[in-house]
Each structure stands twice: as C-alpha cells, then as structure tokens.
Amino acid sequence: MGSLTKAAEEGPSAAVDWSDEAVIYVNGVRRVLPDGLAHLTLLQYLRDIGLQGTKLGCGEGGCGACTVMVSCYDQTTKKSQHYAINACLAPLYSLEGMHIITVEGIGDRQRGLHPVQERLAKAHGSQCGFCTPGFVMSMYALLRSSKHPPTEEQIEDSLAGNLCRCTGYRPIIDAFRVFAKTDDSLYTASPSENANGQAICPSTGKPCSCRNETDVNANESSTLSSVKVYLPCSYNEIDGNSYSEKELIFPPELQLRKFMPLKLNGFNGIRWYRPLKLEQLLYLRSCYPDAKLIIGNSEVGVETKFKNAQYKVMISVTHVPELHTLKVEEHGLHIGSAVRLAQLQKFLKNVIAERGSHETSSCHAILRQLKWFAGTQIRNVASVGGNICTASPISDLNPLWMATGANFQIIDVNNNVRTTAAKDFFLGYRKVDLKADEILLSVILPWTRPYEYVKEFKQAHRREDDIALVNAGMRMHITEAEGNWIVSDVSIVYGGVAVVPLTAAKTEKFLVGKKLDDGLLDETFNLLKEDIPLAENAPGGMVEFRSSLTLSFFFKFFLYVTHEMNIKGLRKVGLDAANMSAIQSYTRPVSIGTQGYESVGQGTAVGQPMVHMSAMLQVTGEAEYVDDTPTPPNNLHAALVLSKKAHARILSIDDSVAKCSPGFAGVFLSKDVPGSNHIGPIIHDEEVFASDVVTCVGQIIGIVVADTHDNAKAAANKVNIEYSELPAILSISEAVKAGSFHPNTTRCLSNGDVEQCFASNTCDKIIEGEIRVGGQEHFYMEPQCTFVWPVDSGNEIHMISSTQ
C-alpha cells in the first residue's frame, strides 16, 4: 500500500489498486455487473433481469418472500458454503464473487421440478403462493448446507424467517418433513430385514418388496413423480448437498478467482468500497469519517429505504480478515466485529462442547438468546459489530455483553488500539463511544468463574423473528463466607426500558455481600422499581406490563441461581414444583397437525384432494402477480411528498430544486387536483393533498413523477416545505378548552318522545349531570347530558339527549 500521506493528498484511489470489475453468477450464468449500481439491492437486480420468482414483500428482511441461496468459497476450509439470505436487503455489489441461486434455478415446469418444489406443491403447501418461493429457497438452502439429513427441529428453525398468511404452516411443515431424519433405519442402503430375511418396509414396518419402488426412476431425473415411498435425500460429504447430481455446482471460476479491492459507484453520487485488509479499511475511514460500514445491511438498508437516510460512501468490510477473528484464548473468547451471527452460533456450540460448564455460562446465555434473534436469513448476514454499533435500545445482545463484563477493542486510523468496557460503550440513543476515525475491532468475552451464573431474558409479541418488548442480561457470582453463600458480584442490565441498555446500579450495590435467600426478593423488587422507572408516556406503551417484566426477569434469575446451588448441594431447601417452570428455557415439541376430510366422488375431481392448478407455477416462481407485470414503454414512477411535522400550517412549498432533478416529469399538489380536493366515505372531510394544515407526520402533501422510481424518490425529497408548527392537543379536555371539535359533532340519538317523557313524568329514573369519558386517570366530564329510562325498560337505555 502506498504512502498514507501521499494518498491522503491524492484521494483514496492513490492508496491501493482498486478494481471496478464485479462478477457474480446467477443460476449458473456468469454476469459482469456494470459500474453505477451501488444503490441497488440484489432483489432489484434479479427482478430487473427477469427473475421475478423472488418477491418483494416487507422490504426489511422480516417476511422471507425474497429468500435466495448464496454460495461462496471458503479459502480456509477449501469448501463451498451455502446459506439463505434476504435479497431485499443485500447490496448488489456485496455479492461479488458469489453464486446466487433463485427459485427459477432449481427447477421449473419445463426442466422438471426439484424435489423440494414438488413436495410443497403435492402437499398443498401453497395457497396464494406469494410467499412460496421464499419457503422453497429456505428449505433448499438448508439441504445444500447440510452434510447429513436435518432434523425436524432444524427444518422448522430454518423456516422461522418466512411468513405465510394463508396456510397456517401445517402443510408446509408436512411437505418438508420428508427430508428430515427421524429414524436411522430409513437411511440404510437397503430396507431392514426380519428374522426370515424378508425386507421390512420403513413406512409400514411390515414385510414388503418395495426395495426397487422406493428408488427414483433414472429416466425421470427431473422429478420424483415415480416415488412410491419417500426416502431421505443423498448427501454429498464435500459439498454438503442433496441430489448433488442435479444441483448447480459452485462455479470453478469463482473458486479460483482472486479477490480484488473494489471501488464502484451508484445513483446520486454513492460510492461503494470493498477493502481486503484492515490497513485499507482504516485508510478509507480516515478519508471518509462519515462513511457507513456495511456487513449484512440489515439496519442501514432499512434506514435508506424507509427513513430516507442518505449515505454517500459505504464500505463493505466482509472481506477484512482481521475483523473475522474467532479465537479461544486463555482469558476468554476473541470475537471479530464482522463475524456473522450464524458463525458465532456454530462457534459457541463448539466452545461449549470443549470447555467446562463453569467457564461457559455466558456462552450458553448468548447462544440461547441468538436462537430467538431475528430469522435465519438475517443471522446469516448480520454481524456482531453491526448489532453493537447500531446501539438499538432493544438489542437482544447488548444487555448480555454488558452483564457478562465483555470488553470492546477499538482501533483508530493510526492503528492505536484501546479497550473499553461494554457497560461504558453506549452513550445515548443510537450513540456509542466511537470517534469518527475509529472502528470496532473485536469483542473480548471473559470466561465465567466457578459458581458464576449468566442468564438471558427476552419477551416479545411472539417467540420467533420478532423484536423484544423488554430483554435483559444478568450475571451473579456467589462465594462462601463463614459458612454462608453470599453474592460477591452481580450485574443486572435491561434493554427496551430506556434509550440505552440500563444497569440496575442500586440493586447491584444492595445485593453484593448479601446472603442469597428468599428474604432478598422484596427489597430487591423495591429497588428495581427505582432503578428501572418507566414513565406513563414511555415510548412503546404497555408500561405496566413492561414494568412487571423487569421484576419477573429477576425473579426467574433468582430461582435459576438458587436451583443451580441446589444441584451442587449448596442449599438444603429446594424449589417448589410450581416454580420449576420459571427456570426452564422455553422449548416446544416439533409441530404436529392433521387435516381430516372425506374423499367423495368417483371418477371426478370433485371431493378429491387434488393439487390446485397454480401450485406448480407457485413453487417454481412462474406464477405472475400484479407486481410481476411488465411495465409499458415510457412508464412513469411516482413518489409521495410527505409531511415531516405532526401538526403545522404549511407556509410555502418550493419545488424548484425538484424540477431540476434527473428524470423529473412533474409534481402535483392540492391546487392541481381537478374538482374537489376532499374525499371521504360519508362526509368529504379529508384532503387528497394537504393544502393548509397537516395533522400527522406522513400526511400526503403532493406527488412527484419521474422516469424511474429512484429518480422520483430523489426528486420528492428535494421538495422544500416551510411550516409553522401549531400547538398539540393531546386530550379531550385540551380540545374543549381550545374549542377544537370534530366537524358536525351535534348528534342526537333518540327513541320515542323525550320531551313528552319529561312532561308527563312517566320516567321513574332520570339521571342528569356529567358523563365520564375516558380511562381512570385521563377523562373528560361532558356537561348537559341526560340519560332517560322509560318505566317499562328495565335497565336498558332507550333515549339519549345531548347538547354536545
């Protein structure tokens, strides 16, 4: 590498011999990616070249409809690796040197269906079919990456990042269960034999002659239509894939290809770099302090797509070996910041198997937490350092790094390395202790000591692929003193309760030196309420529930530690049977479901469990949806101009800069709406485009059209709107005080003659006064309202009269 001083003067191109040649393979076809596509995701590229089986669902890695399989060659193990990713988040250039396989690449109706596709179709595993290609590719990637048949639990885990709103998942799981290992006798070279030498059918357990029937017909290599009984797939020990004689192999060119540092460009001046050495990365950091470091793009991709974040320089650190370190050292584990979470999972499993249990309590806790961290596709690309530096208040791992006493190694552009404790790293909302010229190098996770226990906690709306409402990491070390076991060190950290992971400092100080017994709980709970306060208007809501979780988590941790002491004979009093469930990690059996139906009709499809007509199209990605329809020539794309204020008056709208934007075709505001600008189902009280006052963030003010969607979005962001903010009215009482009433609020619901009822004194129950409207603490007493019960009505209200 050249002189850094000279390079700084001449720009980054002088520092290293950057290449702009990007090569990928898609379904076995070599493709050279032109410069200028740094803004594209893999999904956009695939659909642009006609591979529309990969669908756009949520666009943020949560639904799995865009799942594809990526293959790369590991120069260390000399083997190809296969894993599923979300194409909607993967930057196109991040796949350079890799092989991408989509649902079209594994089978279609002309060439024949892959067994995964055929099984899903025949098991009625698709209905609308939009999510189906994603399920196919998740299962396919699991089979390609497995040296041995996966278990049913592994199959379900691999599908955790895929959502389906139609099937209820039962037929999908049933379809893929055939690929699972359930009984070793199913995987022998020949069927088992009984004492008489007769072959035993693996399906019925009875003597049979199905030896030949269970093999795939050699002349029907494209499908498994001739299979009478499904046997497990054959697995290749080198490539780790099933049906290896039919699969697309990893391209030899990519296996022999030498990686080069990349420098490419994208829309709107975006620059993309891929350094190969730490030195190159640090140099780029010195040149572009505001550059975003990219690994899985699971956070930055969402920011740029949905939050209009603009990052002019992005640096992919996926090929910097110094950031991919995984080492077992004397004092703990050395984990590189670019290590993918899926890699960390495998590494921790090996460490736990090789080290003593007293050293790996923190490893167990992190591994258990990772099981519920996002979906498989996200874990396959998201990194340790990315999750740390994102500094999300609801990060599942950051409370654990803090609780376990982990340290972060940070390096600056001058190769100076400093170490900071994880508990001191998070400074504020999305702010960390990293200077502009520094990057996170690695994480040092210390071994736990004898009688030191670490536990993880997470509560979300659902178990799999969901963000936490509250999470926590807790650690406690107990020692013997004068015949008693006391707390010598403790760490309690909560996430999801503040802008940063919050340490229960008063509680920790109180617990140190205390004897671990049931008497501690009441005082500890009171201190926790002080340490972890949640205001009534705390972001995220559900304040009472989340507050109760902070106490519940500690209670479970207390029971967990005392139970471990019981196992080691350190306590004489065991746990009540009612409390045992609190210390057990969540597990569930493999999903089981049945469908009952009566087969009726003879010689007709009516009443028969027939595969529906679209199934084969859906499992191969050939089914066309509205989004797959080719756009006509000279098609224009639109982007909305949205309000950035919650309640404000529009003073002016300046679209002059937008009109100079590339590809701009037009901008339309309220004055351009023909006829009335108001709409509504009954009362036309809603504006199409806001003309004077906006009442929420995201309210539509106008629309911009351009030749491409990217150009339309860029132009829409250039429309400058000047506001005058208006006071917020947040309660009914404030609305009354301000005279802010809903239009046409005067309503009268009546049944009978109210006036006559009063005049004739025929009502024996009359209530006059104020009506309480709202909850227990925030309510409004509406004046001048009367409820009337006629004599013969019992307690049923028949007449209501209101002046407001």
Mean pLDDT of 545-553: 95
91-99 average pLDDT score: 97
Instruction: Check if the beta carbon of residue 425 is closer than 8 Å to that of residue 398.
Output: no
CATH number at residue 523: 3.30.465.10
Write the pLDDT tens digit of every residue in 525-544.
999 999 999 988 888 889 99
- Would 203 be classed as within a structural domain? no
Residue 184's pLDDT band (cuts 50, 70, 90): low
Give the CATH number of the domain where residue 293 resides: 3.10.20.30
Q: Where are the beta strands (DSSP E) in 461-536?
A: 468-481, 484-495, 502-503
Asked if residue 185 belongs to a domain, the reply is no
What does the pLDDT read at residue 268? Answer: 84
3-state helix, strand, coil in the chain (%, to 5): 30, 25, 45
The answer on 326 and 405 residing in a single domain is yes
Asked if 452 and 477 count as a contact pair (C-beta separation under 8 A), the reply is yes
Does residue 623 form part of some domain? no
Per the CB < 8 A criterion, the answer to whether 253 and 97 are in contact is no
Q: Which pLDDT band holds residue 550 (cuts at 50, 70, 90)? A: very high
Is there a single domain that holds both residue 157 and residue 101?
no
pLDDT at 201 over 60: no
For the stretch 486-498, pLDDT in tens is 999 999 999 999 9
Residue 745 has a pLDDT of: 52
Q: Is 70 in the same domain as 155?
A: no
> What pLDDT is attached to residue 372?
92
Same-domain status, 690 and 575: no
Q: Are residues 294 and 332 in the same domain?
A: no
Q: Quick one: pLDDT at residue 77?
A: 86
Summarize the confidence of residues 86-99 as an average pLDDT: 96
Residue 662 has a pLDDT of: 93
Contacts of 443 (CB under 8 A, 6+ apart): 333, 334, 335, 337, 384, 385, 388, 401, 406, 407, 408, 409, 422
The more confidently predicted of residues 199 and 555 is 555
Whether residue 257 lies inside any domain: the answer is yes
| Confidence tier at 182 by pLDDT (50, 70, 90) | low
pLDDT per residue over 12-27, tens digit each? 444 578 999 999 999 9
Beta bridge partners of 316: 294
pLDDT computed for residue 402 by the predictor = 98
SS3 373: coil
The answer to whether position 533 is within a domain reads yes
**Among 179-183, 670-674, 754-758, 799-803, which stretch is predicted with the lowest mean pLDDT?**
799-803
CATH code of the domain in which 120 resides: 1.10.150.120
Residue 390 sits in the same domain as residue 291: no
Condensed to tens digits (0 to 9), the pLDDT of residues 131-178 reads: 999 999 999 999 999 989 999 999 999 999 999 999 989 999 999 999
What are the tokens at 273? 């770099």
pLDDT at 684: 86
Q: Is the pLDDT of residue 804 over 80?
A: no
Q: Residue 191: is its pLDDT beyond 50?
A: no
Beta bridge partners of 460: 468
Range of the domain at 380: 321-579
> What is the average pLDDT score of the chain?
85
* Mean pLDDT value of segment 601-629: 87
* Statement to judge: residues 173 and 122 lie in one domain: yes
Of 101 and 709, which is predicted with more confidence? Answer: 101
Specify the pLDDT at position 340. Answer: 97
Tell me, what's the pLDDT at 771?
52
How far is 185 from 234, CA to CA, in rounded Å?
14
Q: What is the distance between the alpha carbons of residues 79 and 141, in angstroms, rounded to a whole number?
A: 15
Query: Quick one: average pLDDT of 759-777?
Result: 61
What tens digit of pLDDT does each residue of 274-323 get? 999 999 999 999 999 999 999 999 999 999 888 888 899 999 999 999 99
pLDDT of res. 469? 95
Position 667 confidence tier, pLDDT thresholds 50, 70, 90: very high
Instruction: Specify whether 633 is located in the same domain as 720.
Output: yes
The stretch 436-463 carries a mean pLDDT of 95
Query: Would the pLDDT of 196 be above 60?
Result: no
Give the confidence band of 227 by pLDDT, cuts at 50, 70, 90: very low
Which among 733, 762, 791 is the end of a domain?
733
Q: What is the pTM of this model?
A: 0.82
| pLDDT of 233 strictly over 60 | no
Would you give the DSSP letter of residue 34? P
Indicate the helix (H) or strand (E) that contains 579: none
Same domain, 78 and 138: no
> What's the pLDDT at 243?
46
Percentage of residues of the chain with pLDDT beyond 90: 66
Residue 48 has pLDDT above 80, yes or no: yes
pLDDT reported for residue 747: 61
Check pLDDT > 70 for residue 240. no
In tens, the pLDDT along 555-585 reads 999 999 999 988 888 777 777 777 888 888 7
DSSP 124-182: T--SS-SSHHHHHHHHHHHHHH-SSPPPHHHHHHHTTT---SSS-SHHHHHHHGGGS--
Total domains, the chain: 4
pLDDT band at 589 (very low <50, low <70, confident <90, very high): confident
The answer to whether 286 touches 437, Cβ cutoff 8 Å, is: yes
Mean pLDDT of the region 470-478: 96
Same domain for 303 and 337, yes or no, is no
- Asked if the structure places residue 220 within a domain, the reply is no
Give the pLDDT of residue 535. Answer: 86
| Residues 42 and 146 occupy one common structural domain | no
Confidence bin at 744 (pLDDT 50/70/90): low
pLDDT for residue 217 is more than 50:
no
Domain boundary among 550, 579, 608: 579
Contacts of 587 (CB under 8 A, 6+ apart): none
Which tops the pLDDT comparison, 241 or 578?
578
Rounded mean pLDDT of 327-355? 96
> How far, in Å, CA of 202 to CA of 205, rounded?
6
**Residue 393: what pLDDT?**
94
| Region 380-396 average pLDDT | 96
d(CA 762, CA 799): 13
Looking at mean pLDDT, say which of 51-65, 226-240, 768-782 comes out highest: 51-65
Of 276, 292, 316, which residue constitutes the final position of a domain? 316
Residue 78 within a domain? yes
CATH of the domain at 664: 3.90.1170.50
* Same domain (yes/no): 401, 382: yes
Whether residue 619 is contained in a domain is answered as no
Mean pLDDT of the region 353-357: 93
Least Cα distance to 461 among 379, 394, 535, 529 occurs for 394
